[in-house]
Structure 1
Amino acid sequence: MRGTGAAPTGPARVVVLGAGTGGTIAANRLRRTLGDTALITVVDRDAQHVYQPGLLFVPFGRVDPSALLRPRRRFLHPGVGFAEGDVDHVDVPGRRVHLTGADGREQVLDYDVLVVATGAVLVPEETDGLAAALANGQAHTFYTLEAAAELAGALAGFTAGRLVVNVVDLPIKCPVAPLEFCFLADHYFRRRGIRDRVQLTYATPLDAAFTKPIAARALADLLKTKGVELVTEFNTGSVDGAARRLTSYDGRELAYDLAVVVPLHAGAGYVARSPGLGDALGFVPVDEHTLQSTQDRHVFALGDSTDLPASKAGSVAHFEGEVLAENVRRHLCGQALAGRFDGHTNCFIETGGGKALLIDFNYDTEPLPGHYPARIGLPLLRESRLNHLGKLAFEQLYWHALLPGRDLPGIGSPMPLRGKHNRLPAAAAAGTTKEK
């Protein structure tokens, strides 16, 4: 059915919650798409944007944490407003966002369209003993700037023993990052000349190294080659920091000398305080192709804040931004939604020694060998120096092209099929997708 029945009589009020990767891309693309027909306001709890892909390198001393920070306002186009404050809740039926501003005063923002892009947050308190272990330095993580910096100190002082990298549960931000940490740790200890004194273990709740079969086999082979033990179907039930022990729900135990744990993730806290906005974990249920909420047609979401069966990776937010901007425009005009997101995801996977893998996939086609984005391009599912250089170059692309919402020649939202070998048939959907 139609979204509003009629276009707003004045400039549409669009509120974007979150000024991270997804929110910044969405706001800038919406500004380009809607121009002066919309008043766009972005809300975030602080003024500093963190380059999250760089967090992986901080524990190994390869990046200074301060180099990953930029002012959020710098990357929002002229004409996009920015409000610093904590969201208390969203009144979904009334189309109002209630927040506490940086000055401590309560504010209310009315909207015609709400875009949720507040990502995912760590909830270590949901795992018995994990929050205390992290607070006491008896376990570590690298999914925040502060935690990554603390882990750098722990790694520098680690000279022998068992290092366990443990994913508590899925979904998580950048699901390949824990694997990358294993590969980089292997290289890090080899450079220090102590690799023979360190036992590396990767413990995952999955039944394989990764969620997609072909990529899982390739990554499992890499773990084996680098001497990293793979423990599958390990569903962490508790962490005993004092005893240095992880215990799964089936009773298995993993002793450790140093634990790098990826806690359970959930949506932003205000989502749970906003009836009609999110699910039990605080993620926003959206149509997997249009990115429109399945609960309220005036709400859209992208990036890590959604319940989509796609990786919570920065590339996903980039590819979603193009689709979301067009569908918001159509919604405001009372038109059927036409944009279709196909789950396109790609990830560089650092493998150590100046090499990296690249994977590219979507809802229907798993990572396959070949090249990206066409027959001549970066090698897929194969370690190469070129992919490593691509990952390093991605940072400049991120700041100067992705965040500003620019179109990249030859790299659009739909996953390219050219250049892939033995590709699986992608499900083709014909016709126009209606609003929920």
Structure 2
Amino acid sequence: MTRLVILGAGTAGTMLASKLAKANLPDLTITVVDQNDDHHYQPGYLFIPFGTYRPEQVVRSRAAQLSKQVTFLRQTIERVDPDGRQVHLAGESALAYDWLVIASGTAPRPDQTPGLMDERVWRRSAFDFYTLDGAEALHAALANFEGGRLLVHISEMPIKCPVAPLEFAFLADDYFRGRRMRHKVDITYVTPLDGAFTKPVASARLGNLLEEKSIRLASDFAVAGVDPQASTLNSYDGRHLPFDLLVTVPVNMGAQFVIDSGLGDDLGFVPVDKHTLQSVAHERIFAIGDATNVPTSKAGAVAHFEVDHLVRNLTAAMAGQPLPSSYDGHANCFVEAGRGKALLLDFNYDTEPLTGLFPAPVVGPMKLLGASRINHLGKLAFEKIYWNLLLPGKPLPVPNEMSMSGKVPATAKK
């Protein structure tokens, strides 16, 4: 009997367990471990502050999303012993494994920014929306906001869903226009990057959107901390940005057990081969989704594209064969642009976002690198796809590898 243990029952861990259960591999037991039974649809957090999603829409049972062929353990993970092939759980119990997959994601750590969690500002004038509690608190704060200086801020990269802060800025512009008070709100987008996004082509397009919406850009902002008394966001280069409302994306870090086990980098992400997803330090450990250090977006789409590659590689590894499948870094994401439109980005390790149509050339129907109504509707429809197709491991009409068919570089001239 081969014992496979998956640490984490979020998007990546659930999809992987579903795909492996459908594979009906002989003599394989699959155990998934997580500390609670609440599976969150995290893309929904973005919409809660604006009242377009309700908190109860984004939470379902983890166990209900898993195949009956999978054993689900609701336990706190303390640490991993890779030499002894054991996972130590709370209460001094241990779980033995033959193969291990770390799918524990990433979490915001506001404690990593000095002054941010001071009681004078945290959840009073400073909020996050990367947690359900934070998104709910921000909903109330926006409803009571009467105007002033709004900062939308990224503490440090990488973060999960790297376009979400931009989306928040665009939706905030819409929200205040809808309340007929946009002229009372000065919005600044604050980022440690040298532009609006990581990929230069997309950064230029998204930067133009910021200008069109009269949203200021404060780039290359390496945050030193928050001054709770002065209500300023301060950088190491001496800039001090005053705020009446700070919407921040705190430092994102991997799971604490990854750090405590010595399996992570400085931020707690598992170093893996970016193509095979195998740990660079332990051949019987793989990682997937946000838990890895692969140089692409931390997003659900990435986990989706990774999962089939990992199934093939795990199957080969368990059979003592070379790993056959190579993940190309394929990522795509919708970017809410406000006014009922969204952009769509599609890229991989080596290729920047391109113009064209997705998922099929000529027919699309979704436009790449251009704001459209159908992209917005696609993003809203994704919730049903997530629960009913993605998590159960059902096939989607989207290739795992990035297709170049029907696409042209965004800088190309017709």
TM-score band w.r.t. shorter chain: over 0.9
Contact 1:163 1:200 in 2 (8 A): yes
Instruction: State the partner residue of 2:381.
Output: 393
Task: Tell me the secondary structure at the aligned position of residue 360 of structure 2.
Answer: coil
State the partner residue of 2:322. Answer: 336
| Separation in structure 2 between the aligned mates of residue 190 and residue 28 of structure 1, nearest angstrom | 43
* Alignment counterpart, residue 310 of structure 2, candidates 315, 324, 345: 324
Tell me if 1:372 matches 2:362. Answer: no
CA distance in 2, matches of 1:51, 1:113: 28
Q: Which aligned pairs between 1:265-280 and structure 2 lie closer than 5 A?
A: 265-275=252-262, 277-280=263-266
Q: Give the aligned residue type for 1:13.
A: R
Identity over the aligned pairs, expressed in percent?
51
Aligned to 1:55: 45
For structure 2, the residue ranges without an aligned partner over 5 or more in a row are none
CA distance in 1, matches of 2:52, 2:229: 30
> Counterpart of 2:66?
76
1:28 to partner: Cα distance: 1.0
Counterpart amino acid of residue 95 in structure 1:
R
Q: Distance in 2 between matches of 1:202 and 1:37?
A: 53
Distance 2:23 2:320 in 1: 16
2:391 to 403, 426, 429: 403
Paired with 2:50 and 2:22, the residues of 1 have a C-alpha distance of 39
- Structure 1 segments of 4+ aligned residues over 6 angstroms from their partners: none
TM-score by length of 1: 0.92
Query: Which of 54, 61, 83 matches 1:93?
Result: 83
Shift of 1:33: 2.6
| Deviation of the 1:243 alpha carbon | 1.7
Equivalent runs, 1:254-293 vs 2, <5 Å: 254-275=241-262, 277-293=263-279
Where do 1:123-202 residues align within 5 Å? 123-132=109-118, 135=122, 137-202=124-189
The residue identity in structure 2 corresponding to 1:404 is P
Determine if the alignment matches structure 1 residue 384 to structure 2 residue 372: yes
User: Over the residues paired in the alignment, what is the CA RMSD in angstroms?
Assistant: 1.2
Q: Distance in 2 between matches of 1:241 and 1:19?
A: 37
Cα distance in 1 between the residues matched to 2:319 and 2:113: 46
Deviations 1:137-156 (A, max 9, x none): 23101000000000000000
Residue pairs, 1:213-228, within 5 angstroms = 213-228=200-215
Shift in Å, 1:365: 0.5
2:10 aligned residue: 20
Does the aligned pair in 2 maintain the 1:417–1:423 contact within 8 Å? no
On the 8 A contact 2:343/2:370 being kept in 1, the answer is yes
Structure 1 residues 184 and 286: alpha-carbon distance in aligned structure 2, compared to 1, 3 A threshold: same
- C-alpha spacing 1:407/1:136, structure 2 compared with 1 (3 Å): closer
Instruction: Report how far residue 423 of structure 1 moved.
Output: 7.7
Q: Distance in 1 between matches of 2:85 and 2:395?
A: 31
Q: Give distance in 1, aligned partners of 2:191 and 2:130.
A: 16
Which of 287, 297, 301 is the aligned partner of 1:315? 301
* In structure 1, C-alpha distance between the alignment counterparts of 2:388 and 2:102, rounded to whole Å: 23
Q: Give the secondary-structure state (helix, strand or coil) at the position aligned to 2:267.
A: coil
Per the normalisation by structure 2, the TM-score is: 0.96
